[in-house]
Amino acid sequence: MSERALFVTKIGVIAATVGSAVGLGNIWRFPYMAGENGGGAFLITYVCCVIILGIPLMCAEFIVGRKARSNASRAFKVLAPKSKWHIIGYFGIISSTLILGYYMVIAGWVVEYIFQALRGNLMAESATQIAANFSDFTSDTWRPLLWVLTLLIINYLIISKGVTKGIEKASNIMMPILFLILLIFCGYTITLPGAGEGLKYLFYPDFSKINGSVILAAMGQAFFSLSIGLGILITYGSYFKDNVSLPKTGLTVALLDMLVAVLAGVMIFPATASFGINPTQGPELIFVTLPNVFKHMIMPDFWAIMFFIFAGVAALTSTISLFEVIIAYFTEEFNMNRKRASIIIMAIIAVLSILSSLSFGVLSDVKLFGMNFFELSDYFSANILLPAGGFLFSIYIGWVMNRKDVYSELGGVNAIYKAILFSIRYIAPISIFLIFLSLTGIFK
Ligand code: PHE
CATH code of the domain containing 96: 1.10.4160
Rounded Cα–Cα distance for residues 175 and 263 (Å): 14
25 lines ligand 1 (CB under 6 A): yes
Q: How many domains does the chain have?
A: 1
Out of 140-144, 260-264, 325-329, pick the least confident: 325-329
Q: Is residue 222 part of a domain?
A: yes
Rounded Cα–Cα distance for residues 387 and 401 (Å): 20
Q: Is residue 4 part of a domain?
A: no
234 lines ligand 1 (CB under 6 A): no
Q: Is residue 3 part of a domain?
A: no
Domain of residue 92 covers 10-439
Show contacts of 164-167: CB within 8 Å, 24+ apart.
Answer: 167/19, 167/316, 167/317, 167/320
The predicted structure's pLDDT at residue 283: 83
Rounded Cα–Cα distance for residues 287 and 319 (Å): 20
Mapping DSSP to helix (H, G, I), strand (E, B) and coil, where does residue 438 land?
helix
Closest-lying ligand 1 atom to the alpha carbon of residue 318: 8
Residue nearest to atom 6 of ligand 1 (CA): 227
The predicted structure's pLDDT at residue 127: 80
224 pLDDT band, cuts 50/70/90, is very high
Residue nearest to atom 10 of ligand 1 (CA): 227
225 lines ligand 1 (CB under 6 A): yes
pLDDT at residue 147 greater than cutoff 50: yes
Q: Is residue 56 part of a domain?
A: yes
pTM for this model (two decimals): 0.90
2 pLDDT band, cuts 50/70/90, is very low
Rounded Cα–Cα distance for residues 55 and 43 (Å): 17
pLDDT at residue 161 greater than cutoff 90: no
24 lines ligand 1 (CB under 6 A): yes
Closest among 344, 312, 314, 313 to 326, alpha carbons compared: 344
Out of 32-36, 221-225, 262-266, 366-370, pick the least confident: 366-370
Q: Is residue 5 part of a domain?
A: no
